[in-house]
Structure 1
Amino acid sequence: MPSKHAPNILTFGEAMTMFVAESSGSLAEVEHFRRRIAGADTNVAIGLARLGFHVAWLSRVGADGFGEFIRQTLEQEGLDCRYLTTDPTHPTGLLFKERAAGGEDPRVSYFRNGSAASQLSRSDADNLDLSALKHLHATGIPPALSDSARDLSHHLLQEARAAGASISFDPNLRPSLWRSEGEMRDTLNHLAAQADWVLPGLAEGRLLTGQDTPEGISDFYLERGASAVVIKLGPDGGYYRGTLGGREETFNVPGFAVAEVVDTVGAGDAFAVGTVSALLDGLDPRQAVLRGNLLGAEAVKVIGDMEGLPDRQRLKALTATYPEIFA
């Protein structure tokens, strides 16, 4: 635990122990794996902690070696795990990931049904200290895990709003976890409407809103209460539309060229880390999207979901290589 003081940023969701194939081929053929942790929510939490923010993580893990591995890893990354509960009756979720070739998305097999994190509920927030809370980052994964975790998601966004904190929301669609597409769409759009900054991918935005263009997707969420919408466009960069600091803006920011794409998983989370951290640093929206693009590009250069996320020193070095962009 990095501090006894109340955290400034709160994140929540499911962290899983991940086994990444050390050679290419189907999981049926691979014999050797490397153990890591995975989870979109923890990727963002780790990224923000590496940049020096006091980030608390709310979740559940099983009373098993995998859960202890997750706790130790998160604490080593500087996360405040005071709200991480060890569940004695449900296991830690697992996943196995193939080694993809040629920049393709790797295939993943999940073992998360009945996981400890799926048992998250409103009671897990009973002892929250929000006295110093400045920001809540949420995704669409916790509400997909179970009805009780969905209730917790709504509750935490309401509590953060009441505490005067800003809220970012990344849909992070997991259609296979939902009972229906309609339920997924309605739930996530309701949560997004409670956020200040909404960060969908282009395909996600199209599915959730029924709009085809970045402009249409952005207007959908702005009309429902968001202050800004930042759309992830993959290699093409990012699109921004919104009003922050009293100034209404709309613009595209091109992505950064990557010579070799190694692993695409976690790129969207890295984009969220860059964008959210920059806004929390007080930078303007254009600089925020630029940082999001930069970190997204760095993420695809390495194996692993969060290994490419920089600390402050590394971020400073990265931006220094583009003096004409990062003024």
Structure 2
Amino acid sequence: MPHPATPPEILTFGEAMAMFVADTPGGLSDIEHFQRRLAGADNNVAIGLSRLGFHVGWLSRVGADSFGEFIQRALKAEGIDARYIHIDEQHPTGLVFKERAQGGADPRVEYLRRGSAASHLAIEDAKAVDLQSLAHLHATGITPALSDSAYQLSRHLMKQARAQGASISLDPNLRPSLWPSENAMRTTLNELAGLADWVLPGLTEGQRLTGQKTPHDIAGYYLDQGASAVIIKLGAEGSYYRGTLDGKEESFTIAGCHVAEVVDTVGAGDGFAVGVISALLDGGTARQAVQRGNLIGAQAIQVVGDMEGLPNREQLQALEAYPPKA
């Protein structure tokens, strides 16, 4: 699909990896056959928004290797604007191996990403970004965990997007193993949350980052830092909203969607982000955004891959017209 000459209206940034999913259940040491897929929280969101008809760009570095080529081809096939993807001749594309989940359990994953091309992301990689064309920037807490230079890039893009008047969303996407310490993770992500309009933590993530226990108090922590909306994922129970998106402060919980069979929980939060962001950019209300977040998050957990369950606009309209019933 050819990309428009105009720069992207939405930008995401971070690391994509070639993912190898086990063909059968069991420990990774016992698996001989894998399926190759695409992984990466920020590019999952990019793909989800692109499928809904938005012009989305993705900024990253990939290695000058076959996996980097695979990632570029896969994203271009999804309509992602690739103008901000940099080829790194010195460092490899990251890889991830994932067990085949059973019974709705979280699958075990192992990464080969240390020293990857994307871990060398830096402010200079954003030099060509046309910020004036940007309506929205989506950030995750994974990118600043990759390296100090990737953190500096995250902070730079969020500050620049805010200065240009674009809306900004942040999904903490906690990956404790990537951080030097719990304190570094908490301090850095709370600082970046102060640059975001819409903060999208899971309940456990919010508790870990803020020290607060209830959804109301976690939301209050980020609203006090300047967020206009905090939407907290509650798993099967749905999600909680507190904010001032519709001109008045309100808070509510919307129940989760019925799911007949949970296949793989990875990617649920990215699907949720796609729902919330797309609804708000469509001009929807806070309730409509949370409902769509729940709906698309529920689709994501019914397939093996991280983003294969994300709907296109026609599929979404059908889902919203006839939501799954228990």
TM-score, normalised to structure 1, is 0.98
Cα distance per residue 1:107-145 (max 9 Å; x no partner): 001000000000000000111112211000000011000
Q: Is the 8 A contact 1:46 1:77 kept in 2?
A: yes
- Aligned-residue RMSD, C-alpha: 1.0
- Other structure's SS at 2:252 match: strand
Contact kept? 2:257, 2:324, Cα under 8 Å = no
Q: Equivalent residues in 2 for 1:131-142 (5 A)?
A: 131-142=132-143
User: Which digits, 9 at most, give the CA deviation of each residue in 1:262-288, with x for residues without a partner?
Assistant: 000000110010011101100000010
- Matched residue type, 1:240: Y
Aligned to 2:76: 75
How far 1:147 moved relative to its partner?
0.4
Match of 1:154 in 2: 155
- Which amino acid letter does the alignment assign opposite residue 137 of structure 2? L
The answer (yes or no) to whether the contact 2:238–2:256 under 8 Å persists in 1 is yes
Aligned to 2:319: 318
Alignment of 1:13-28 (within 5 A): 13-28=14-29
- Counterpart of 1:23 in 2: which secondary structure? coil
Counterpart for residue 202 of structure 2: 201
Aligned to 1:287: 288
Q: Give SS of 1:283's match.
A: coil
How far apart are 1:173 and its partner, in Å?
Answer: 0.4
Deviation readout 1:130-164 (Å, 9 max, x if unpaired): 22110000000110000000000000001101111
Distance 1:96 1:323 in 2: 32
Contact 2:206 2:218 in 1 (8 A): yes
- 4+ aligned runs moved over 2 Å, structure 1: none
TM-score (norm 2): 0.98
Matches of 1:233 and 1:100 in 2, distance apart?
A: 21
Q: Which residue of 2 aligns with 1:190?
A: 191
* Contact 1:6–1:131 (Cα < 8 Å) also in 2: no
Q: C-alpha separation between the residues in 2 aligned to 1:105 and 1:165?
A: 35
1:277 partner amino acid = S
Provide, for residues 23-46 of structure 1, a one-character-per-residue CA deviation record: whole Å limited to 9, x for no partner. 111111111110001000111010
What is the 5 A alignment of 1:1-327? 1-322=2-323
Distance in 1, Cα, partners of 2:18 & 2:164: 33
Is this contact kept in 2: 1:202–1:233, CA < 8 A? Answer: yes
**CA distance in 2 between partners of 1:228 and 1:127 (Å):** 30
Q: Name stretches of at least 5 consecutive residues in structure 1 with no aligned partner.
A: none
Contact 1:197 1:228 in 2 (8 A): yes
How many Å separate the matches in 1 of 2:235 and 2:215?
A: 13
Residues 323 and 186 (structure 1), Cα distance of their counterparts in 2 relative to 1, 3 Å cut = closer
Q: Distance in 2 between matches of 1:27 and 1:203?
A: 27
Residues of 1 paired with 2:51 and 2:130: CA distance? 22
Deviation at 1:323, TM superposition (A): 10
CA deviations 1:181-217 (Å, max 9, x no partner) are: 0011000000001100000000000000000000010
What's the CA shift for 1:18? Answer: 0.2
| Equivalent residue letter for 2:186 | R
Whole-Å separation in 2 of the counterparts to 1:198 and 1:41: 15
Alpha-carbon separation, structure 1, partners of 2:234 and 2:60: 30
Using the alignment, how far apart are the partners of 1:80 and 1:284 within structure 2? 28
- Give 5+ residue unaligned stretches, structure 2: none
Provide the secondary structure at the position in 1 that maps to 2:23.
strand
What is the alpha-carbon distance in structure 2 between the residues aligned to residue 5 and residue 183 of structure 1? 38
User: Does structure 1 retain, via aligned residues, the 8 Å contact 2:15–2:60?
Assistant: yes
1 CA distance for matches of 2:125 and 2:143?
A: 13
**Aligned 8 A contact 1:236 1:254 in 2:** yes
Deviation (angstroms), 1:2: 1.7
| Residues 229 and 241 in structure 1, CA contact (< 8 A), matched pair in contact too | yes
**Separation in 2 of the partners of 1:18 and 1:322?**
31
Among all aligned residue pairs of Structure 1 and Structure 2, give the percentage whose two residues are the same amino acid. Answer: 67
Does structure 2 retain, via aligned residues, the 8 Å contact 1:7–1:130? Answer: no
TM-superposed deviation, 1:259: 1.2
Aligned residue identity for 1:287: Q
Structure 2 counterpart SS, 1:81? coil
